[in-house]
Amino acid sequence: MQTKEFKAESKRLLDMMINSIYTHKEIFLREIISNASDAIDKLYFKSLTDTSVGMKKSDFAINIAIDKENRTLTVSDNGIGMTEEDLENNLGTIANSGSFAFKKDNDLGDDVDIIGQFGVGFYSTFMVAKEVTVVTKAFGSEQAYKWTSDGVEGYTIEECDKPDGVGTTITLKLKDDTDDEKYSTYLDQYQIQSLVKKYSDYIRFPIRMEVEHTHYNEEGKEPEVHKAIETLNSMTPIWKKNKSELKDEDYNNFYMEKFGDYEPPVTHIHSKNEGVATYDALLYIPARAPFDYYSKDYEKGLQLYSSGVMIMEKCADLLPDWFSFVKGVVDSEDLSLNISRELLQQDRQLKIIAKNLEKSIKNELEKLLKNDREKYEKFYSVFGLQFKFGIYQSYGAANETLKDLLMFPSSFDGKNVTLKEYVSRMKEDQKEIYYACGETKERIEMLPQLEKIKDKGYEVLYFTQDVDEFAIKVMIN
Ligand code: ADP
Ligand code: MG
C-alpha cells in the first residue's frame, strides 16, 4: 500500500475548507448525500435496460448511521460504486469535480462564500472529519476497494471486502470538539434529521436512519428507548407534484413553514417548464413585507435547486429588483450542483429562467388586479412602492413590465386608478395625463389649480409619494 499525494489544487481547496466558517460546514452532509443519490441514479438508470442489475426502484436507498462511541458518521448507498480507477480519478483530484471553477486569486473571503453557497463536493467532508474512509464496490466488478485520507497530505487505496455488495460507504471520523466548534453535533440524531430536512428533503430515494425514541411512562419508572429505522426525507418536493394533487392549503402550509411567515401568501405561482429551459418553479407573493424590506439589509432571491438538491439559499439573479418581494423555489436540471456564483451569474439557462419568471410574476399580478381588485390593492399598498422605484431605477427598462401594475389615487372618486383606466375614461379633447403632487390626498384636494382642471371634466392623479413624479417622468420620456 502506498500513500499518494493530492494534486496541488486539491490541497489548496482542502486548506480553504478547513478554514471555512462554522455555519458552512454542515453542508458536507448535503454533498455526500447528493453524491450517493447521483450514484443510485446511475445504477437505477442502468437497471431499466440491463436486467443483470436485478434491482427495482424501491430497492435503492441511502443509509445514515451514527456511532457515538467511535465518533463516526456513516453514509452508505447501493448505487453504482467506484472502481479502483474511479477512486483514483474522482477522489484524488478536484479537477474532475463537476464544474467547480477554481479561483486563482487569493481572496479567501469569496472562496468561503462559495463553500457556503454551493459546496465543493466530496472534499467538504474534511471540514468536519479528521479521517474519511470510502469503501466501494463498482457494479460489474468483483473486487472492493478502500480509500482512506486524513485530508492533509494524501490518500491510500487498498483492496478490501465489502460483504453488503455493490455501492459505496463513506465513514467520517469526526474531528475533536474545540471551544468554538462542536463537531459532535453531527452525532446527534436530531441534528442529522434536521440537516436532511433542510438540504436533502427532496432527494428522490429514501434516506434512512435508525432513530431512537424515548418513552416516559409512569413517574418513577425508567424511560423506555425504542429504536426504529425511519425515512428522514419526504422524497417528493411539492413543486414536483401535479397542480391537481395540491390544494391552496398545501401551498400555503409549505410557504409558511419554508419561509417562516405566519400569514398565508396573497397568491402562488406554480409553473413547470420544458424546452429551452427545463425547470419547476413555485413562487409566492407574500401578504406582508418583512420588517427590513425597505432597508439595505433586505436580500432578495429565490431558493435554487439542481435536480432536487438545494444549491443556493437566495439566488438574487433570479429576481429583478421590482419583484424582490417574491419568495419561492426554482428547481432545474440544467444547472450543475457545483457551479460557482461567478459562473452562475453568466449562465444562459439561469438568465432564461429569470426572464420567464419575471413574465409569470407580471401575469399573475395582472390577473389578480383583474379578478380580485381588493386583494390586489391590499398587496399594492404593501409593495407598490417597489414598482415605482423599479421604473425609476431601471431608467424605464421595466416600463413594459410594470406600467399596468401601477395605481394612483385620483380626483375621479378618490379611489386607486390604473393608468389604463385613466386613459380609457379620458375626455375626447384631453391630450395629457394630469397629476398633482402633495403630501396627502387631502392636501392635494385643497390646491386651487385642481379645481380648474376638474372643471374641464379632466381626471387628476394624486402623487403623494416622492418617487411618483420621478417614475412618471421616466415613463413618458
Ligand atoms: P461531483 O459530485 O460534482 O462530481 P464530488 O466531489 O461531489 O463532485 O464527487 C466527485 C466524484 O466522486 C463524483 O463525480 C463521483 O464520480 C464520485 N463519487 C463520489 N461519491 C460517490 C458515491 N457515493 N458513489 C459513487 N461515486 C461517487
Ligand atoms: Mg457531488
Please list the rounded mean pLDDT of every run of 10 residues in the chain (477 residues). 72 68 76 91 87 93 98 98 93 49 41 51 88 97 95 88 97 95 96 91 92 85 92 91 91 84 93 92 95 90 84 90 97 78 82 96 98 97 95 93 96 92 93 92 91 91 93 84
Distance from residue 273's CA to the centre of ligand 2 (Å): 25
CATH code at 94? 3.30.565.10
Distance from residue 49's CA to the centre of ligand 2 (Å): 25
Q: How far apart are CA 436 and CA 449, in angstroms?
A: 9
* Cell numbers found for residue 144: 472492493
How many residues are listed for the chain in this entry? Answer: 477
- Ligand 1: residue whose CA is nearest its atom 15: 90
29 lines ligand 1 (CB under 6 A): no
pLDDT computed for residue 5 by the predictor: 78
pLDDT computed for residue 70 by the predictor: 98
Q: Are residues 462 and 430 in the same domain?
A: yes
pLDDT computed for residue 419 by the predictor: 94
Atom index in ligand 1 nearest the CA of residue 337 equals: 3
- Ligand at minimal distance from the CA of 41 is 1
Atom index in ligand 1 nearest the CA of residue 77 equals: 23
CB 167 within 8 A of CB 81: yes
Write out the residue range of the structural domain in which residue 469 sits: 407-476
90 lines ligand 1 (CB under 6 A): yes
pLDDT computed for residue 98 by the predictor: 35
Q: How far apart are CA 407 and CA 415, in angstroms?
A: 9
Phi, psi dihedral angles at 172 (to 5 degrees): -105, 120
Q: Are residues 209 and 246 in the same domain?
A: no
Q: Are residues 297 and 333 in the same domain?
A: yes
Q: 3-class SS at 350?
A: helix
pLDDT computed for residue 275 by the predictor: 86
Angle between helices 27-47 and 189-200 (to 10 degrees): 60
Asked if residue 379 belongs to a domain, the reply is no
pLDDT computed for residue 9 by the predictor: 67
Q: Which of 214, 231, 248 is the last residue of a domain?
A: 231
Angle between helices 8-18 and 108-118 (to 10 degrees): 80
422 lines ligand 1 (CB under 6 A): no
Q: Are residues 207 and 287 in the same domain?
A: no
Distance from residue 150's CA to the centre of ligand 1 (Å): 18
Q: How far apart are CA 243 and CA 245, in angstroms?
A: 5
Asked if residue 313 belongs to a domain, the reply is yes
Asked if residue 472 belongs to a domain, the reply is yes
Q: Which residues contact 388 (CB under 8 A, 6 or more apart)?
A: 406, 465, 467, 468, 470, 471
pLDDT computed for residue 338 by the predictor: 63
DSSP 8-state symbol, 51: G
pLDDT computed for residue 346 by the predictor: 81
Domain count, the chain: 3
- Pocket probe for ligand 1: among 60, 64, 76, 90, the residue whose CB has the most ligand atoms within 8 Å is 90
Distance from residue 39's CA to the centre of ligand 2 (Å): 10
Distance from residue 290's CA to the centre of ligand 2 (Å): 34
82 lines ligand 1 (CB under 6 A): yes
What is the dihedral angle through the alpha carbons of 120, 332, 35, 228, rounded to the nearest 10 degrees?
120
Atom index in ligand 1 nearest the CA of residue 86 equals: 16
